[in-house]
Amino acid sequence: MSSSYVLLLILLYTFTTSSVGAQAAGVEKGFYKKSCPQAEQTVQSIVWDRVASNGALPAKFLRMFFHDCFVRGCDGSVLIDSTANNTAEKDATPNKSLAGFDVIDDVKTALEKACPQTVSCADIVALAARDSVSFQFKKPIWEVQTGRRDGTTSQASEANANIPSPSSDFTTLVNDFANKGLDVKDLVVLSGAHTIGVGHCNAFSKRLYNFTGKGDADPSLNATYAAFLRTQCKSLSDNTTTVPMDPGSSTDFDNHYFANLKLGQGLFQSDAALLTDGRSTKVVNKLLDAGDFLDAFKNSIRNMGEVGVLTGSSGEIRKNCRVVNS
Ligand code: HEM
Ligand SMILES: *[C@@H]1O[C@H](CO)[C@@H](O)[C@H](O)[C@H]1NC(C)=O
Ligand SMILES: *[C@@H]1O[C@H](CO)[C@@H](O)[C@H](O)[C@H]1NC(C)=O
Ligand SMILES: *[C@@H]1O[C@H](CO)[C@@H](O)[C@H](O)[C@H]1NC(C)=O
Ligand SMILES: *[C@@H]1O[C@H](CO)[C@@H](O)[C@H](O)[C@H]1NC(C)=O
Ligand SMILES: *[C@@H]1O[C@H](CO)[C@@H](O)[C@H](O)[C@H]1NC(C)=O
C-alpha cells in the first residue's frame, strides 16, 4: 500500500466519522426531500394559517416539543391518546395547558393524503414547534433535522417522572437535563422558551403566599412583581387563572426572559434557580445579548430534538398521531 493511499484512507476515515458525529442521533436535514418533497412546506402552511388566528399556539407547540422529547425521546408519544387500558402522557399532571393537537391532526391528514405512512408524527411536532415560533419572523429561525420515527408507548407515569417541576432547584434541573444528554448551557438557553406563553397560578403561587410554610413570599421574587402577581392569583389554590411568563412581550420570541430574570421576575422557582449558580448565571448574562440568544437557541433546540430519537427501522410511522398502528 502506498503511503499516499494510507493517508487517503486516514482522511476518509476522519471525514466519515466526524460527519457521523455531527449527526450522532441519525436525524438529518431534509430527510423527506425524495420521499415526500412537500412535507416541510405542508407543515409550515397549515401551522402558519392557524397561528395567524391564534397567537397562543407557538407557546403550545414549543412546550409540546419539550414534553415529547423529555419522555422516551422525541418520538411523538406526547400525541397518543389514552385508551381504556392506558393513561397516556398527555393525561399526566404536568400536561396542564398542552394544546394544539387538532393542528397536528390536520397536518397529518394532509401528509397522509400526499405521502401515505412516510412522515412521522414526531417530525411533525418538531417542525410545528419551529414553524409556529417562526411565524412572527416570516422565515424559519432554526433548522430542524428530520428522520425521527414514532414510538408505540405513552404513559402518564413517565411524564410525571421526566418533566421537570416548576419548583425544582438548580441541582435538580441540571440532573433532569443531564439525564437527557443536555448540559447547563442547554438548560439556561432552552429555559428562554419561557419568553412566550403563560403559566397557571398554582405553578408558582407558593412563592407568593407560603414559600417556607410561614405565610411568606419567596425573597428572590421581585417584591413589586410579587405584589402584582397577588392581584392576579388571589389564593394558593387558584388553578385556573394564567399570567404571561414574560409580561409585556409574552408573544414575542426574544431574549427578554433573561432581562426579566435579572430583575427577579422569573415566574417559577425553576426560572429563578438559574441565578443561584455561577455557571448558569454566566450563561444568563451572555444571553442578555439578543443575537447571542437566537444563535444559542438554534444549537440547544437541535440538541433537544435529538434526545432519544428512533431512526432507521425502529418504531413506526403512525397513520394517526393519536393512535399506535394496529
Ligand atoms: C427547565 C425546566 C422547565 C420547567 C420546570 C418548566 C415548567 C413549565 C411550567 C410549569 C409551565 C406552565 C404550564 C401551565 O401552567 O400551564 C411552562 C410553560 C411553558 N414552557 Fe416550560 N418548563 C421548563 C423548560 C421548558 C423548555 C425546555 C421549553 C421549550 C424549549 C419550555 C417551553 C414552555 C412554553 C413555551 C410554555 C408556555 C406554554 C403555554 O403558553 O401554554 N419549557 N413550563
Ligand atoms: C384492554 O385490555 C383488555 C383485557 O386485557 C383487552 O381485551 C382489550 O383489547 C384492551 N383494549 C385496548 C383498547 O387496548
Ligand atoms: C390533562 O390531564 C387531565 C387528567 O389529569 C385530563 O382531564 C385533561 O384532559 C388533560 N389535558 C389534555 C390537554 O390532554
Ligand atoms: C402554609 O404551609 C404550611 C406548612 O406546609 C401549612 O401548614 C399551612 O397550612 C400553609 N398555609 C396555607 C394558607 O395553605
Ligand atoms: C383545580 O382545583 C379544584 C379544587 O381543588 C379541583 O377540583 C380541580 O380538579 C382542579 N383542576 C385542575 C385542572 O387541576
Ligand atoms: C423589580 O422590578 C422593577 C420593575 O418592575 C424594577 O424597576 C426593579 O429594579 C426590580 N427590583 C429588583 C431588586 O430587581
Identify whether residues 175 and 300 lie together within a single domain.
Answer: yes
Identify whether residues 234 and 109 lie together within a single domain.
Answer: no
Q: What is the pLDDT of residue 15?
A: 43
Catalytic pick from 50, 60, 67, 185?
67
Q: How confident is the model at residue 1 (pLDDT cuts 50, 70, 90)?
A: very low
Contacts of 83 by beta carbon, 8 Å cutoff, 6+ apart: none
Q: How confident is the model at residue 2 (pLDDT cuts 50, 70, 90)?
A: low
Atom of ligand 2 minimally distant from the CA of 83: 13
Identify whether residues 250 and 174 lie together within a single domain.
Answer: yes
Q: Is residue 117 lining ligand 2, measured as CB closer than 6 Å? A: no
Nearest to 193 by CA among 46, 64, 53: 64
Residue found under cell 414510538? 151
In angstroms, what is the span from residue 222 Cα to ligand 6's centroid?
A: 6
Q: What is the pLDDT of residue 4?
A: 55
164's torsion region: left (phi>0), alpha (psi -120 to 50) or beta?
beta
Question: Which cell goes with 205?
Answer: 403561587
Atom of ligand 4 minimally distant from the CA of 210: 1
In angstroms, what is the span from residue 73 Cα to ligand 4's centroid?
A: 37
CA distance 110 to 326: 21
CATH label of the domain that carries residue 51:
1.10.520.10
In angstroms, what is the span from residue 116 Cα to ligand 2's centroid?
A: 28
Q: Is residue 214 lining ligand 4, measured as CB closer than 6 Å? A: no
Identify whether residues 80 and 156 lie together within a single domain.
Answer: yes
**Total count of domains within the chain:** 2
Using the predicted structure, report yes or no on whether residue 143 has a pLDDT greater than 80: yes
Contacts of 203 by beta carbon, 8 Å cutoff, 6+ apart: 96, 166, 267, 268
CA distance 156 to 118: 27
Residue nearest to atom 9 of ligand 4 (CA): 213
Domain residue limits at 84: 39-162
Average confidence (pLDDT) over 87-107 = 91
